[in-house]
Structure 1
Amino acid sequence: MNKLWCGLLLFSTLAQADIIKRSPDKGSHFNVISKDSVTGALLCSEYVPAYSHIYLYESSQVPLAVNLSIRNIDPENNIVVSRVDYFDTKGEKQDSLLEGVFSLAPMSTVSFVIDQQEMSGGAGANFIVDWLKMDDDVSAPLVEAVMAGYRGTKGLSFTSRSVRIGTCRKQ
């Protein structure tokens, strides 16, 4: 059994309280910083489409795990992630997946997981990711949602990428 499916099986057995992973593993690549240390930065927002399920036909849904991936593609500079919020099809906020302000090291990635059995987001679920642009030379992160699920013996997976919401602005 490949690692992706092992991970999906593991997540489907978690307790209800663990369905939404509020904060990723912290370590040398992703750590809490003081909000005061980022004064004067520009606030940039990314919209990321996601799907907690898709329809095979009108009355048949396939639940999907959603993996939100934030990748710092800048080889030299940290980026600062200040918000990761999850919304449902109606635009209602389901949860804040990040508490605090975090620095993401160059060329590193942080991931958040919405369990396959958590279908409250709907077919129009989405995320808003805010990050702080500290310097004009900093590259924007690559933010993607990877959805994966299965029905019977058939598996499916696909991705969606973020789009910038407006322009970066002063906080």
Structure 2
Amino acid sequence: MKKIILLSAIFLGFYACENKINLGNDEDPIQVNWNKRVATISAVDALDSGHSYLSIYSQIYSYSQHKTYNLTAMVSLRNVSMKDTIYLTNVDYYDTHGTLLRSYIEKPVYLAPLETIEIVIDEADTSGGTGSNFLFDWKTPKGCPEPLFEGVMTSTAGQQGLSFITHAKRLNE
């Protein structure tokens, strides 16, 4: 009887350690429909303009400069104003060498008060490399707080997880 209980406990231990990760292959990920967010900005609107830079990591080095570890990156674009709508006029993704990989918008788009939208760079997409980055151009009404741009990089393998964040820096150009 003791052997049966011991074998059952071992079996349950192995079963409990089984790592099941849903990669979401059965559903399409939620993507921003930029065309539904298009905004018309009049030349007479009194808007402040700004540019922000955000570092993103599609990969990081592991053990040496010859081995890399892939990451999922989520870029968070946030309107921190409680009353004003803000506008994004440019959202571009560059690789480690400064080569433009993707332009996410063709026309200005809006973010409603306190709204957040995300761009996800899949773990399998390593085109950005170890030093990829985003450039954002934005417009806000006078007196409105600047938008907040953050990057959240994550990866999980087995029982180990890794995550860290980056914050955008305003460019004075």
Structure 2 residue ranges without an equivalent (≥5): 1-20
Which of 1 and 2 has higher RCO (CA within 8 Å, sep 6+)?
1
Matched letter for residue 139 of structure 1: P
* Matching residue within 51, 55, 64 for 2:61: 55
TM-score calculated relative to the size of structure 1? 0.78
Q: Does 1:151 align with 2:166?
A: no
Contact in 2 for aligned 1:62/1:150 (Cα 8 Å): no
Aligned position for 1:129: 136
Give the counterpart of 1:31 among 37, 40, 45: 37
TM-score by length of 2: 0.77
* Alignment deviations for residues 61-95 of structure 1 (CA, whole Å, 9 cap, x no partner): 21111111011111111111111100011111111
3-state SS of 2:38 partner? strand
- What is the aligned-residue identity percentage? 32
Runs of 4+ in 1 over 6 A off after TM superposition: none
Structure 1, unaligned runs of 5 or more: none
2:60 partner letter: I
- SS state of the match for residue 129, structure 2? coil
- Count of residue correspondences: 151
How far residue 38 of structure 1 moved from its aligned partner, in angstroms, is 7.0
RMSD: 2.6
